[in-house]
Structure 1
Amino acid sequence: MKFGEAFTEYLHGEQDRFLEKCGHVEYNSLKKVLNTCRSCNALRDSCNSDSSGCQCQSCPLCDQKFFSELMKEASQIAGCFSSRVRHLLHLHVATGMQRYVLNLRRCFRNDQQAMVLEGWMLIEYALMNAIAIRKILKKYDKIHGSVNGRNFKSKLRAEHVELLQSPWLIELGAFYLNSNGSDDGDFKEFSSNFSCDFNVNPPVMTLMLPHLIKLEFDLTCAICLVGVYSKAVHMLELDMLLKRRCKDYWKERLTAERAEMLAQSKLHWAKYAYGY
């Protein structure tokens, strides 16, 4: 089955109600833009007849609609993914009265199981759309004989909308690892796809996803964990995972980070006070 057909089947399958308010890559529409553009067809014909290979870099008729529409869709998908994961995990790490109310609700219905299933559906949502973006950009470069599609992927990373590099995907992985001791069969089924190794340098989290996709994330990035920037993601699940799995490492890291921050603060105020 071609990916376009598989993606359409996914969008209209069991996830239909779940995806009702979430955007997705208009894969077939974007593919149609490339297939029906006369300039693209002419360029493709010239590529087929030119043994030296096509050197055309872009198609203005395609680019104006293609890249702007794809960026819009990618941004909407990333926004939906992050907001849904944030809400899901907020319930998991709730404290105080909110945690009491949630625990009381669990006495009457299986919220834990619902969270497990929703988390996995969110992972599939991110994965399928990420594959759709990768394939449509690869098709663009194949038609135009360019690297503009590959460069656009770098732009997605720069704009923080590349789905498989989202900190919220790491948070979901940490969520399943934190819940690995649960007796719930659903947790055991899904958590087997996630692992972390703190004995290597740097420590990594590994995600084994459908379609034989393996992702590895470096767990030493301080920006994601200490809230230095206003838009930094406070990764509570990962924070919990690190504190549980590697207490000595976490203590050493916090000590080193505090010492570094203190040294930088002293240097800053010294420059401010003495003007150098």
Structure 2
Amino acid sequence: MKFGETFMEYLHGEQEGFLDKCSHVEYKRLKKVLKSCRVCRESRDSCPSNEHDDDNGNAQLHHEFCQCEACPLCDQMFFSELMKEASEIAGFFTSRVRHILHLHISTGMQGYLLRFRHCFTNDQQAMVQEGRMLIEYVTMNAIAMRKILKKYDKVHSSVNGRKFKSKMQSERIELLQSPWLIELGAFYMNFNERDGGESNKFFSYDLHSTQPVMTMMLPDSVKLEYNLSCAICLELVFNPYALCCGHLFCKSCACSAASVMIFQGLKAASPESKCPVCRAAGVYGDAVHMLELDLFLKKRCKEYWKERLVAERAEMVKQSKEYWDLQTKFMIGY
């Protein structure tokens, strides 16, 4: 079955009620836009020659698609529409995942009230069900975007589709690279394994290899791997934070890279501070604290997690002492 048929079947399947509330890629309509893109007289001068002589000496077209680097028809209708859809999908996905995780890992009085509520209502299953639907939602739409962009490049013999993917990454709306997808995967495995569910339907993991990874299964047996090692200490991430650029670090390592102390947190980082991996600036202020991933690692690497906890607390106490010693000396003019 072609992906277009699979995607339409998904849109009109059992999740149709859920999908009516949210945006999705207009795959069929965007594909029609590409099909309607033909060589136009105004752009023939800027297009590579598509002609060759047949046996009778008549010029024929190799094919009917536009071969120019930029196409006015597609550039006006295609990319603007796709960017709007990608932004809406990413926004909806992020807001729903944050809501689910907030309910799952609430602390204090709110956490107590939620646990008390669970004694009377079984809404945790509803949370897992919504999590499963969100995983399918973001996966199907991400694949639809990738396929339609690949089709664009094929039709126009250009790299604009790949450039658009890079633009989505820079604007943090690349769906399959979202830290919230990793958080949702950790939530899904935490809950399902606790209740004896199928933990490997979407996600699997290997935390004891040279490079610890979480693997997401996509349709057609395609695997997408997320590296769970910190790019600074090269160890399995502890108390992980995902910067706005998507790179994952231990909190202590990220604070060190941003030249702030652990107890101050990443929000104290300067806007000019750059990611140690991609050198993007301004990525610390809205970093995502990966609480669900931290819980996932805590359950499966207990000894390692305890060792890192002791080390981080000791470093935090040391930094706090040094900081307040300096503040005291400054105040008394020493």
TM range (shorter): 0.7 to 0.9
Equivalent residue for 1:83, pick from 95, 103, 120: 95
Local SS of the residue matching 2:10:
helix
Counterpart Cα distance in 2 of 1:240 and 1:40 = 57
Counterpart Cα distance in 1 of 2:82 and 2:40 = 18
Residue 197 in 1 paired to residue 209 in 2?
no
Partner in structure 1 of residue 7 of structure 2: 7
Counterpart Cα distance in 1 of 2:115 and 2:315 = 39
- Residue 14 of structure 1 aligns with an amino acid whose one-letter code is E
Equivalent residue for 2:123, pick from 86, 93, 111: 111
Counterpart Cα distance in 1 of 2:48 and 2:26 = 23
Counterpart Cα distance in 2 of 1:26 and 1:108 = 41
- Residue 217 of structure 1 aligns with an amino acid whose one-letter code is Y
Higher RCO (C-alpha under 8 Å, 6+ residues apart)? 1
Partner in structure 1 of residue 114 of structure 2: 102
Moved more, 32-41 or 141-150: 32-41
Which is higher, the Rg of structure 1 or of structure 2? 2
Partner in structure 2 of residue 38 of structure 1: 38
Query: Contact 2:241–2:290 (CA<8 Å) still a contact in 1?
Result: no
Counterpart Cα distance in 2 of 1:103 and 1:141 = 51
Residue 154 of structure 1, CA deviation: 1.6
Residue 239 in 1 paired to residue 294 in 2?
yes
1:9-24 → structure 2 map (5 Å cutoff): 9-24=9-24
Please give the per-residue CA displacement for 1:135-161, whole angstroms capped at 9, x wherever unaligned.
Answer: 110110111011211221122111111
- Residue 46 of structure 1 aligns with an amino acid whose one-letter code is N
Query: Contact 1:40–1:59 (CA<8 Å) still a contact in 2?
Result: no
Local SS of the residue matching 2:289:
coil
Please give the per-residue CA displacement for 1:173-211, whole angstroms capped at 9, x wherever unaligned.
Answer: 11122224433x5xx124554232222233211222443
Equivalent residue for 2:176, pick from 151, 164, 168: 164
Local SS of the residue matching 1:214:
strand
Q: How many residues align?
A: 262
1:102-251 → structure 2 map (5 Å cutoff): 102-183=114-195, 188-221=197-230, 223-224=241-242, 226=251, 228=266, 229-251=284-306
Q: Could you say if the C-alpha distance between residues 136 and 96 of structure 1 is closer, same or farther in structure 2, counting changes exceeding 3 Å?
A: same
Partner in structure 1 of residue 281 of structure 2: none
Query: Contact 2:215–2:225 (CA<8 Å) still a contact in 1?
Result: yes
Counterpart Cα distance in 2 of 1:12 and 1:178 = 30
Local SS of the residue matching 1:14:
coil
Query: Contact 1:194–1:208 (CA<8 Å) still a contact in 2?
Result: yes
- 5+ residue gaps, structure 1: none
Identity among equivalent pairs (%): 63
Residue 19 of structure 1, CA deviation: 1.7
- Residue 33 of structure 2 aligns with an amino acid whose one-letter code is V
Local SS of the residue matching 1:149:
helix
Partner in structure 1 of residue 237 of structure 2: none
Counterpart Cα distance in 1 of 2:93 and 2:212 = 26
What's the Cα RMSD here?
3.3
The structure richer in helix per residue is: 1
**Structure-1-length-normalised TM-score:** 0.81
1:43-82 → structure 2 map (5 Å cutoff): 46=50, 49-50=61-62, 56-82=68-94
Counterpart Cα distance in 1 of 2:194 and 2:40 = 54
- 5+ residue gaps, structure 2: 52-59, 231-239, 243-249, 252-264, 267-283
